[in-house]
Amino acid sequence: MNKIEQLNNWELKEKDGIKYFQLRLELEKLQCIVITSVGGLSFPSENPELLQDNLKQVQRIFGIKQVNILKQTHSDRSYYMPEDFKFNYSLDGDGLYTDKANIFMGVRIADCLPIFLFNQTKKIIGIVHSGWKGTLQEISKKMILNMRARFNLKPIDISFAFGPSIGQCCYEINSDLAHVFSEFTRARNIRNALIEQDNKSYLNLKLINQKILENTGLRNKGIIDLCSFCEKDLLFSSRRKDVNKRNLAIVGYRE
Ligand SMILES: [Zn+2]
């Protein structure tokens, strides 16, 4: 497979020397973006000053008024973002959703999966940070329940898309965790999420999250099939020991 085939409805674009992925959508004002490491922007939690500076750069480059992020603790907590929500890095959580325009929400990633959720008719958007812990806690499913209750949505009214994460090729997990995931996927009728090779277990994080959302009734709008560990020139990877380096995934609706 070449890179274009692996992008699945996403495009690799460039602006001011920054390379980023953007999802093709019917509603162009709704924007799902993943900023790559090309261009030198990183969003580490360990360096709040650099994080704030680079968030400001993103606001300038993309002409965005505000980008809100959370502390990210591999939890199952998500929040509705009201208009007056301010950058609140001290708030524990891994998911944000809103019906407000012109305020973008972001998650920082290096191997974990960024999940975009949206309804193009009602202009409702959300973003989730889901690694293996968030996946086992089904954070995305819990946030969807909250979104459905607040906005009166059916599952079919919500679409999803995934940015890049670590691929099964490079995601070795220990036998205890493999056992947990084996039970988890069997209970949900999800197949081929674990591959055993030379006494090692490899996890397909994307596939599990995709099946969870499809089984919930959501529409799949595009999954970037690139591995953050393999794509050294494009993406950060904590397993590759990119210390204090994170990519940023953002979603927002411009009015
Ligand atoms: Zn890989």
How far away, in angstroms, is 33 Cα from ligand 1 center?
Answer: 21
Give the model's pLDDT for residue 73: 94
Give the model's pLDDT for residue 186: 97
How far away, in angstroms, is 172 Cα from ligand 1 center?
Answer: 10
Q: Report whether 229 contacts 240 (CB < 8 A).
A: yes
How far away, in angstroms, is 169 Cα from ligand 1 center?
Answer: 4
Is the pLDDT at 229 greater than 70? The verdict is yes
Q: Is residue 228, in this structure, part of any structural domain at all? A: yes
Task: Please state the rounded mean pLDDT for residues 69-94.
Answer: 89
Owning domain of residue 141: 3-165+218-253
Query: Does residue 244 or residue 155 have the better pLDDT?
Result: 155
Q: Report whether 185 contacts 194 (CB < 8 A).
A: yes
Q: Is residue 79, in this structure, part of any structural domain at all? A: yes
Give the model's pLDDT for residue 160: 98
Q: Is residue 179, in this structure, part of any structural domain at all? A: no
How far away, in angstroms, is 127 Cα from ligand 1 center?
Answer: 24
Query: Does residue 117 or residue 1 have the better pLDDT?
Result: 117
How far away, in angstroms, is 171 Cα from ligand 1 center?
Answer: 7
How far away, in angstroms, is 168 Cα from ligand 1 center?
Answer: 7
How far away, in angstroms, is 238 Cα from ligand 1 center?
Answer: 13
pTM, to two decimals: 0.97
How far away, in angstroms, is 229 Cα from ligand 1 center?
Answer: 5
Give the model's pLDDT for residue 111: 97
Instruction: Output the domain CATH number for residue 65.
Output: 3.60.140.10
Q: Is residue 105, in this structure, part of any structural domain at all? A: yes
Q: Is residue 183, in this structure, part of any structural domain at all? A: no
Give the model's pLDDT for residue 178: 98
Categorize the per-residue pLDDT at 1 as very low, low, confident or very high, splitting at 50, 70 and 90. Answer: low
How far away, in angstroms, is 165 Cα from ligand 1 center?
Answer: 9
- State the average pLDDT for the chain: 95
How far away, in angstroms, is 95 Cα from ligand 1 center?
Answer: 26
Task: Please state the rounded mean pLDDT for residues 64-74.
Answer: 93
Q: Is residue 203, in this structure, part of any structural domain at all? A: no
Is the pLDDT at 16 greater than 80? The verdict is yes
Give the model's pLDDT for residue 89: 77
Q: Which residues contact 198 (CB under 8 A, 6 or more apart)?
A: none
How far away, in angstroms, is 226 Cα from ligand 1 center?
Answer: 8
Q: Is residue 193, in this structure, part of any structural domain at all? A: no
Q: Is residue 93, in this structure, part of any structural domain at all? A: yes
Categorize the per-residue pLDDT at 139 as very low, low, confident or very high, splitting at 50, 70 and 90. Answer: very high
Is the pLDDT at 52 greater than 80? The verdict is yes
Q: Report whether 130 contacts 112 (CB < 8 A).
A: yes
Is the pLDDT at 110 greater than 70? The verdict is yes
Number of structural domains the chain divides into:
1
